[in-house]
Structure 1
Amino acid sequence: MYGQINGASRALEDVRARQQEVQEAAHRKVDQLRQEYLEIKALIDASEASSTRKIKEEEKRVTSKFDNIYQIILKKKSEIQTLKEEVELALTKGDEFEFLEKATKLQGITTKPVFVPKVELNHELIKEVCQGTSDLKNELKRCLRQPQDKKPEELTVPGDAGGHCGPHTPKTHRPAKKPLKEEKKPRKPASAALNKPVTFGSSEHLVNLKPTVQEGAAKAPPVPPTSASLTAKVLENFLTKSRPELLEYVVKVVLDYNTAHNKVALSENYTVASVADTSLNYRPHPQRFTYCSQVLGLHCYKKGIHYWEVELQKNNFCGVGICYGSMERQGPESRLGRNSASWCVEWFNTKISAWHNNVEKTLPSTKATRVGVLLNCDHGFVLFFAAADKVHLLYKYKVDFAEAVYPAFWLFSTGATLSICSSK
């Protein structure tokens, strides 16, 4: 009985542990879904902006032609008016010789009738843009109408705590039904169960908790840092890692259209940012930068270790860093590194500086055009590397992050371009 009581106690703990795992897995799935939907919304917003821009450009092209035609006709009218006045003036001459001389000169001047060329909008282009938008809407409706006939148990698999949430998830989870059927075995006598895993539940859903204990022992969650010495040791370890070792933590960074300043142009599937010559007139958004030409990454990071690299082109007025989502979007304090909510390395002409809380630290110059950023949320530090075949440290910050952080980028001069390197 003592053995059974101990087994039951362990089983209770295991049930709670598995319940916690399920809750954490569900929360992770919800976070992943939220990020996916944010990206979908950003893609739709960008598509709308692109379609609107095409029609606006076509409108501008046609109206510009009309402006030119208007100026030509206005000039033509002025010439005809001047000729008319000269003819009327000649008719008032009393001297016949003077009249004949003036009339001879006027006869050599010819005027052509006013002609207005045909100018129209490119209706094929407009039709194509509208059809593309309609096709996108219909495809979205079709996807949303697909029946959601998957059973809950097909989506719940023990140990699936960190899988990717994607469209093929239900298919890969179907085999999980087989182990559940194999557990439908009759209970053994109590005397034989003293050293066996304890099972609870009805005859339809028996749950064997012994494998869970073994999995927990094999895959114990990482222990959070408990001292500054541990953080220093982890930091020192990362400072000695090679570039291939850092690339093991690489993540895919996508730029957030809704945060881009009106002079920051995004391209290449939102992985390239550059400075436009004129305002792009993005639609207003509460997260959009309105003072500095900056843009944030779409995804935020609150825990774990993450690494990404950025290629700089014409790197004389640009910056790479991280910031809290709560960072200001308006006014001088919204500039990267000029507040307490952001950290960055900045290229200003030939000078390289690290900025945080409006405090500048001048750094040694480097010829490297690629910057690596390693963010360790668990131990509280961010490292900036000059990345080539080998990496060398540009600057490091030790931070007890108070909230989730986003990749952040600043561009100033026309022609400056930042490219997020492929996660591959």
Structure 2
Amino acid sequence: QTVLLKPVSVCSCLLQETASRKKDLIRSEFLEIKALIEERENQALKIIAEEEKRVCNKFDYIYSVVGSKKNEVQSLKDQIEMALGESDDILFLKRATALQRTSTKDAFVPAIEMNENMIHCTYQSAINLKDIVKHSVSQYKEKRVEAVMTTLQWAQSISGFSVSIKLTVHFFFFSPLQRRKRNPLKLGFFPTGQTLFSSVDTAPTTGTPTAAAAVSSKELLESFLKKSREELLQYAANITLDYNTAHNKVILSEGYTRMSVSDTPLNYNQHPQRFTNCSQVLGFQCFKRGIHYWEVEMQQNTFCGIGICYGSMERQGPESRLGRNSRSWCIEWFNSKISSWHNDVEKCLPNVKATKIGVLLHCEGGFVIFLAVGEKHNLIYKFKAQFTEALYPAFWLFSSGTVLSLCQM
């Protein structure tokens, strides 16, 4: 036994040293990956910022041109009023003749719009990068299982090195919990007894959340339900509306913070992100991590919906309606009726009188809460879900009398 334990002890030390070096290398690689992704993010944000600056500069130029034209018109107006007040007919005729020689031209106001194609390409490049990362991670998981099987088959064919190979597999390919369950002595790492290879898991297992995790999640949700509005305001997010997603009957005003419905279609540019069937619009901001809180004021009517959705939600067809698909969650007001909607499933809710709605999104916690804002917060409804994509504030307006405003906090 002493003869057997000595090489095992040496092998264990070597394995620990190797694992430590590999972990350092892996950390270094992931740090480089993160740096590259952050650099790409900064480049994308810089492109958008530069385009924003270009458009703002054009606005400033046009403002100065229009201001100069206004001064010209005011000067001409003063001359006309002076001529009209002239009591001497000859002087009046002279002034009138001089005014007729004054040439006036309309101020040239060029079209002002952001380069939608460039912004869309920048956004699409971020999505493509995300898809590539997702694909690489999924491939890694598949290759990891294949590597385990290949190593096991190779080890079985070389009986002379079975002890060291089994130890390698045990320490490198199983989690600490699996290693405890698979005690080397019990699984026969030594010549007598059953071998490890007769009971290797060849497929990854997906466990359900533990009871402790479920309790923790519930306690987290309950803690936020008890918070006052003042406490929630520390998570405040100022939301603006995304012009490129607005249906052609949704009017955006007041710095893209107010939305209403037009009786006639508006002349919006075509865009792949624009809703074509439902009078809906998304927020410009999206959230993948953290806790975020915003408020929406219902100024007129109550035919509307307030919610959140993934950016991948359909933009046309019946499934593009908020709450009628698996990619969106919302509360809907239809006259005096209030309902929650998700995945085309409706749940009727108690009627709560409110003119201002608070929305609290906890990305890691996996829940979104809708509250009636007043002297005391009243819970309207809460959704629990495992969010897998970035989430956007989403709004639906039904009739021309509906007006929603985003509160700037």
Q: Distance in 1 between matches of 2:56 and 2:328?
A: 26
Question: Residue type matched to 2:106 in 1?
Answer: E
Pair 1:334–1:248, CA change in 2 (3 A): same
Instruction: Give runs of aligned pairs for residues 366-377 of structure 1, distance below 5 A.
Output: 366-377=352-363
Aligned equivalent of 1:237 = 223
Question: Residue type matched to 2:316 in 1?
Answer: Q
Instruction: Give runs of aligned pairs for residues 18-167 of structure 1, distance below 5 A.
Output: 24=34, 27=37, 30-31=40-41, 34=44, 124-125=106-107, 127=108, 129-130=109-110, 133=112
Q: Distance in 2 between matches of 1:421 and 1:10?
A: 52
Q: Distance in 2 between matches of 1:273 and 1:43?
A: 25
TM-score, normalised with respect to structure 2: 0.54
Q: Deviations over 1:358-415 (max 9, x none)?
A: 1111112222111111111101111101112321110001101121111100011113
Pair 1:12–1:332, CA change in 2 (3 A): closer
Q: Distance in 2 between matches of 1:47 and 1:349?
A: 45
Pair 1:39–1:342, CA change in 2 (3 A): farther
Q: Distance in 1 between matches of 2:311 and 2:52?
A: 16
Q: Deviations over 1:121-171 (max 9, x none)?
A: x9625x1x22x859x99xxxxxxxxxxxxxxxxxxxxxxxxxxxxxxxxxx
Superposition CA RMSD, Å: 3.6
> In the alignment, does 2:395 pair up with 1:409?
yes
Q: Deviations over 1:88-132 (max 9, x none)?
A: xxxxxxxxxxxxxxxxxxxxxxxxxxxxxxxxxx9625x1x22x8
The answer to whether the Cα contact below 8 Å between 2:300 and 2:404 also exists between their aligned partners in 1 is no
Q: How far off is 1:252 after superposition?
A: 1.8
Q: Distance in 1 between matches of 2:393 and 2:268?
A: 21
Aligned equivalent of 2:234 = 248
Q: Distance in 2 between matches of 1:307 and 1:345?
A: 16
Q: Distance in 1 between matches of 2:54 and 2:331?
A: 32
Aligned equivalent of 1:358 = 344
Q: Deviations over 1:272-311 (max 9, x none)?
A: 1111121112111011000000000112211111111111
Aligned equivalent of 2:166 = none
> In the alignment, does 2:377 pair up with 1:391?
yes
Pair 1:297–1:361, CA change in 2 (3 A): same
> In the alignment, does 2:382 pair up with 1:400?
no
Q: Distance in 1 between matches of 2:292 and 2:316?
A: 28
Question: Residue type matched to 1:300 in 2?
Answer: C
Q: How far off is 1:324 after superposition?
A: 0.9
Task: Give the paired residue count.
Answer: 254
Q: How far off is 1:337 after superposition?
A: 0.7
The answer to whether the Cα contact below 8 Å between 1:321 and 1:407 also exists between their aligned partners in 2 is yes
Pair 1:240–1:286, CA change in 2 (3 A): same
Question: Residue type matched to 1:340 in 2?
Answer: S
TM-score, normalised with respect to structure 1: 0.53
Question: Residue type matched to 1:417 in 2?
Answer: V
Q: Distance in 1 between matches of 2:57 and 2:256?
A: 12
Pair 1:36–1:310, CA change in 2 (3 A): farther
Q: Distance in 2 between matches of 1:231 and 1:304?
A: 15
The answer to whether the Cα contact below 8 Å between 1:253 and 1:298 also exists between their aligned partners in 2 is yes
The answer to whether the Cα contact below 8 Å between 1:315 and 1:347 also exists between their aligned partners in 2 is no
Q: Which deviates more from structure 2 when the two are superposed, residues 341-350 or residues 29-38?
A: 29-38
Aligned equivalent of 2:276 = 290
The answer to whether the Cα contact below 8 Å between 1:262 and 1:290 also exists between their aligned partners in 2 is yes
Q: Distance in 1 between matches of 2:38 and 2:246?
A: 27
Q: How far off is 1:43 after superposition?
A: 9.7
Aligned equivalent of 1:299 = 285
Higher helix share: 2
> In the alignment, does 2:292 pair up with 1:310?
no
Percent identity for Structure 1 against Structure 2: 55
Q: How far off is 1:21 after superposition?
A: 6.4
Query: Which runs of structure 1 show a deviation greater than 6 angstroms over 4 or more consecutive aligned residues?
Result: 9-19, 39-48
Aligned equivalent of 2:151 = none
SS at structure 2 position matched to 1:374 = strand
Aligned equivalent of 1:114 = none
Aligned equivalent of 2:306 = 320
Question: Residue type matched to 1:279 in 2?
Answer: P
The answer to whether the Cα contact below 8 Å between 1:42 and 1:258 also exists between their aligned partners in 2 is no
> In the alignment, does 2:325 pair up with 1:343?
no
Q: Distance in 1 between matches of 2:30 and 2:378?
A: 41
List gaps (5 residues or longer) in structure 2: 1-18, 59-103, 116-208
Q: Which has the higher contact order (CA 8 A, sep 6+)?
A: 1
Pair 1:331–1:239, CA change in 2 (3 A): same
The answer to whether the Cα contact below 8 Å between 2:367 and 2:385 also exists between their aligned partners in 1 is yes
The answer to whether the Cα contact below 8 Å between 2:307 and 2:331 also exists between their aligned partners in 1 is yes
The answer to whether the Cα contact below 8 Å between 1:315 and 1:369 also exists between their aligned partners in 2 is no
The answer to whether the Cα contact below 8 Å between 2:238 and 2:294 also exists between their aligned partners in 1 is yes
Q: Which deviates more from structure 2 when the two are superposed, residues 14-23 or residues 278-287?
A: 14-23
The answer to whether the Cα contact below 8 Å between 1:373 and 1:382 also exists between their aligned partners in 2 is yes
Pair 1:236–1:31, CA change in 2 (3 A): farther
Q: Distance in 1 between matches of 2:218 and 2:290?
A: 17
Q: How far off is 1:18 after superposition?
A: 8.6
The answer to whether the Cα contact below 8 Å between 2:301 and 2:401 also exists between their aligned partners in 1 is no
Pair 1:285–1:390, CA change in 2 (3 A): same
SS at structure 1 position matched to 2:106 = helix
The answer to whether the Cα contact below 8 Å between 1:339 and 1:357 also exists between their aligned partners in 2 is yes
Q: How far off is 1:231 after superposition?
A: 1.1
